[in-house]
């Protein structure tokens, strides 16, 4: 019980720190303030999902909680790096006009591969999933903006 209490305390402190850092960063975005009401909605929602995850049936020899955790990790490993690549790296190079639609299209195409990799535990499928993300980035990178000639 002491080890479990220590782990729980560590996770709680890590969660509080992470949320505080993210909220602090959100405040620095121009024309965006922090939205504490969003946190008040998301916290109980996360608790409800966690509670009911224990009651979900097994899938592919994984408990319901494990499926939710792996789905979260899959989304975390797909959406955030893709966002950074398309909206930060490529937008910083002046490639932002098509990057948002291309980003969501690449994510949508890669999602089944991430399902196979994380939920079905066939990790080889993560390679073509990331390949689709990189292909979209390469297309945006080599696309030349049309110059206006007058």
Tokens of 52: 């009911």
Most confident of 91-100, 118-127, 137-146: 118-127
Closest alpha carbon to 67 in 79, 83, 81, 49:
49
Calculate the average pLDDT of the chain: 81
Spatial separation of the C-alpha atoms in residues 43 and 47, rounded to whole Å = 6
Span 134-145, pLDDT tens digits? 998 888 877 755
Is the pTM higher than 0.75? no
């Amino acid at each position: 019980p002491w080890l479990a209490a220590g782990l729980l305390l560590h996770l709680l402190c890590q969660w509080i720190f992470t949320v505080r850092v993210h909220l602090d960063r959100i405040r620095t975005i121009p024309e965006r303030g922090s939205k504490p009401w969003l946190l008040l909605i998301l916290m109980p929602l996360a608790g409800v999902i966690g509670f009911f995850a224990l009651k979900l049936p097994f899938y592919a020899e994984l408990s319901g909680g494990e499926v939710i955790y792996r789905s979260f990790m899959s989304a975390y490993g797909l959406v955030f790096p893709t966002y950074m690549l398309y909206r930060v790296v490529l937008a910083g190079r002046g490639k932002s006009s098509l990057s948002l639609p291309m980003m969501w299209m690449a994510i949508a195409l890669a999602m089944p591969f991430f399902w196979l990799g994380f939920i079905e535990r066939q990790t080889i499928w993560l390679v073509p999933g990331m390949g689709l993300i990189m292909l979209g980035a390469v297309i945006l990178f080599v696309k030349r903006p049309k110059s206006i000639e007058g």
